[in-house]
Homo-oligomer: A and B are copies of this chain.
Amino acid sequence: MTQHLPEPVRRLAAALAELPSIGPRQAARIALSLVDNPSGSAEALAKALAEIGNIKTCERCFFIHQEDGKLCPICANNARNQSIIMVVEKETDLISIENTAKFPGRYLVLGPIPKIGMLSDWQKTRLETLKKFINGTLNGRAEEIILGFNPNSIGDFNAELIKKELSPLAKKTSRLGRGLPMGGEIEFADDDTLGAALDRRN
Binding site for B on A (CB under 8 A): 1-9, 11-12, 14-16, 18-22, 25-26, 28-35, 39, 41-42, 44-52, 54-55, 64-66, 90-92, 94-95, 98-99
Contacts and interface: CB of A to CB of B under 8 A. Distances in A.
B51 A33 contact: no
A48 B11 contact: yes
A48 B5 contact: no
A3 B9 CA distance: 33
Contacts of A2: 95
Contacts of A92: 25, 28-29, 32
Contact of A45 (B26, B39, B49): B49
Contact of A49 (B6, B21, B34, B51): B34
Contacts of A98: 4
Contacts of A51: 8, 11-12
Nearest to A43: B49
Nearest to A8: B51
Nearest to A16: B45
The 9 lowest CB-CB distance pairs between A and B, nearest first, are: A6-B66, A12-B48, A15-B48, A8-B51, A15-B45, A15-B44, A4-B98, A46-B49, A11-B48
A65 to B, nearest CB: 6
Contact of A94 (B4, B18, B25, B95): B4
B26 A21 contact: yes
B95 A4 contact: yes
B95 A28 contact: yes
Given A4-B99, A15-B41, 20 more contacts: A3-B99, A6-B55, A8-B54, A8-B55, A9-B55, A9-B64, A11-B48, A12-B48, A15-B45, A19-B33, A20-B29, A22-B30, A32-B90, A34-B52, A35-B55, A42-B49, A45-B45, A46-B46, A46-B49, A49-B49
